[in-house]
Chain A
């Protein structure tokens, strides 16, 4: 029996779409890479975040807002289906500013975003708070921090448990997941699509490429955009600590198990996902500056992960014009957007309305000649 959908990629983006389609009654097969693959889904910090999204593309900020509004129900639903607690919390979040200049440019960005979208002007709530005003949200915040933008929309979850819950829920819905089965080539077959792998050929009526950086080579073969590039982030995580009572920040957040995740570096380092001593030292120094109480805290693990970045940093959602029935889903914000990917986006794919409903997110925007 031929499947309805073939999903290329078993990360958090591919699995959210697979789950959404399976929940709608579709027969879905997921092809995943090996345990050693690049895996942005396993390396990220777990923020469900609206702040900073869609600068220059208000529609993306609106999507993010929709996504976090749906997150609570999404998390509850996954927990009910799988028993896995996603450790999701939405108590607001703070994006720190280290000096007056950063504070000013941040506020200007948010103002401009709201001027460009009447909806964001109404619905995107945020405030700039000085260091002292932040203390109730971030007790014992370092004295050298200027302040930060606070927003009630922001939150965090355990991204690894999100991934696990998507696996468990999808499997329970009959999704076939093939680990260590990377797609080597994609092609049109009869009235559907075919993926060639070392373990044989897989076919389905339609195909969704959610391959992260793997889309660079796979997507163009079906007339879709491969315009994604790696952007490395290095993260440190500490041993478990008593609850600090801090709201999450992109710079530093305490997880439900008590460890503190630190770091929001952005480095162009090709496909090297290692860590560097200089950057680890810089992150540690910054962490102690933000939260001096962490000085004697032990580092348990440091890792690098590669963000999947489009040229403008905004998501890539598109339907192939040359190969109807092939779709490309790619973004660096797979955690925040997971609730949206599993619902409205999966529905748009199912109804073959992706190209029309999300035209602004097509890869064509990168091909406009100057």
Chain B
């Protein structure tokens, strides 16, 4: 280990609900964890800007305000909180993990004995014709604009996709007096109505979510916002920017003029740090994505725990619980007389977590995306936005012998751009799995290389002079 590394007993990556909760719990036990976060203020995506809210709770909903206590406790606790810090490199060492951290234009080298990854989730990259056009944005991005500065689209948008966030944003726009012009619900219809009936226990546990969803849809309908269900085709069209949206509903294509299409196709764990450490991952059928493999204490490696949506999508409350669970697991490994049985606190958290997560399969079934989507898109549909690689180009490289995601990347540059495959990794896996007749796990994923966040040669070189 280089001598200029800064040592810490425990580092946490991410200051969303999971990272904040973990840090708070560790601080309660007398430790002073280092928390690195990409953003300038804590809260993650869900509680973004909550420290000085820009929008009234009547618009945002009560769930947004729920994070206030957590933010206050995080603010009070003795934590070495480092905002604006990009953990762009990490490596396993004999006694923990090395981290390359970029803060204020300089690279620092940290050495953490233990590491909690709480990097959260991201909206799924879901290719459809024209999704690279200006005027196509993620619904989550539009919500970030709302939280950050009370920004609303000047022209009523079309919302399309599947997932709770789609309806939440539509409802928030409605509450703010600027309802969307159209909502296109693209959940895969076969599972939509059948699944809840097959899972009475899940339906019972998820009744809160179901009721809330039904209230939101009813409010949209009352306001005259058309909600089209079982939409199974989507295209954005225009020259320099989106001018219209084409969608297929009940077997027929329809055209809607709009300058703004807000898409949302579910969320998946932000994979880069866990992948760059080559941690084991497995495809999760219900969540339709890869999840890092974690033990019962959320441990994913010798001295590493993954808490929150970065380990599997469970929502903000679950993330908070997982943060505390990970903190307790860390404390266990540090205790001199560690006991084999979990503490009452841990047991209570686990029970609550199990109860909460039991409702997820129902939600996941309701919002399931069509698995064969990509293979039904036109050849020219971009899969890799950074390098502008289309589905057709990928198909021809597969035909020429591109037999795995890394070889396909080498053959086509798909995934070689600055987003590091975040937007196309899952699509490439799906395409290969379909074409080669292999499981998602057998196909595997890109090798994720550093930097997992942007760093310039100058910023990298400056550390030499420190």
Contacts and interface: CB of A to CB of B under 8 A. Distances in A.
Direct contact of A and B (CB under 8 A): yes
Interface stretch (A142-150, A210-218, A284-292): A284-292
B390 interface: no
Contacts of B126: none
Given A35-B444, A277-B109, A288-B458, A164 B411 contact: yes
B461 A285 contact: yes
Contact of B461 (A167, A239, A284): A284
Interface string B430-465: 000000000000001001011100111110110110
Nearest to B413: A257
Contact of B449 (A277, A281, A301): A301
Interface in A49-97: 82
B401 A288 contact: no
Interface string A195-222: 0000000000000000000000000000
B151 interface: no
Contact of A282 (B400, B403, B406, B464): B464
Interface string A257-281: 1000010000000000011111011
B461 A281 contact: yes
Contacts of A280: 89, 450, 460
B144 interface: no
Contacts of B454: 298-299
Given A35-B407, A288-B461, A299 B456 contact: yes
A42 interface: yes
A296 B458 contact: yes
B279 to A, nearest CB: 14
A144 to B, nearest CB: 14
A239 B386 CA distance: 11
A238 B464 contact: no
Contacts of B403: 32, 35, 179-180
Contact of A42 (B400, B406, B413, B461): B406
A295 B457 contact: yes
B397 A164 contact: yes
Contact of A288 (B410, B417, B455, B457): B457
A300 B463 contact: no
B450 A294 contact: no
Contacts of A161: 411
Interface string A20-54: 00000000000010111001001000000000000
Contact residues of B: prevailing secondary structure: mixed
B91 interface: yes
A160 B410 contact: yes
Instruction: Find the residue from A163, A276, A281 having the highest chain B CB count within 10 A.
Output: A281
Interface residues of B, number: 37
A311 B460 CA distance: 34
Interface residues of A, number: 44
Contacts of A239: 418
Interface string B297-341: 000000000000000000000000000000000000000000000
B416 A301 contact: yes
Interface string A289-319: 0000011111111110000000000000000
Contacts of B107: 277, 281
B404 interface: yes
B449 A164 contact: no
Contact of A298 (B404, B407, B418): B418
- The residue in B401, B417, B456, B463 that gathers the most chain A C-beta atoms within 10 A of its C-beta is B401
B456 A278 contact: no
Nearest to B451: A299
A283 to B, nearest CB: 8
B239 interface: no
A359 interface: no
B30 interface: no
A35 B443 CA distance: 9
Contacts of B2: 277-278
Contacts of A297: 456-457
A171 interface: yes
B460 A299 contact: yes
Contact of A300 (B91, B407, B418): B418
Contact of A284 (B420, B447, B457): B457
A163 B409 CA distance: 12
B444 A36 contact: yes
Interface in B89-131: 89, 91, 98, 100, 107, 109
Contacts of A34: 404
B19 to A, nearest CB: 23
B85 to A, nearest CB: 16
Given A275-B449, A294-B457, A298-B455, 7 more contacts: A36-B404, A171-B400, A179-B407, A180-B403, A276-B91, A285-B461, A288-B461
What 4 pairs between A and B have smallest CB-CB spacing? A35-B404, A179-B403, A167-B401, A284-B460
Interface of B: 2, 89, 91, 98, 100, 107, 109, 397, 400-407, 410-411, 413, 416-418, 420, 444, 447, 449-451, 454-458, 460-461, 463-464
23 contacts: A35-B405, A39-B406, A42-B410, A164-B400, A171-B401, A177-B401, A274-B91, A277-B107, A280-B89, A284-B458, A285-B464, A288-B457, A288-B458, A288-B461, A295-B457, A296-B458, A298-B455, A298-B456, A299-B454, A300-B416, A300-B420, A302-B449, A302-B450
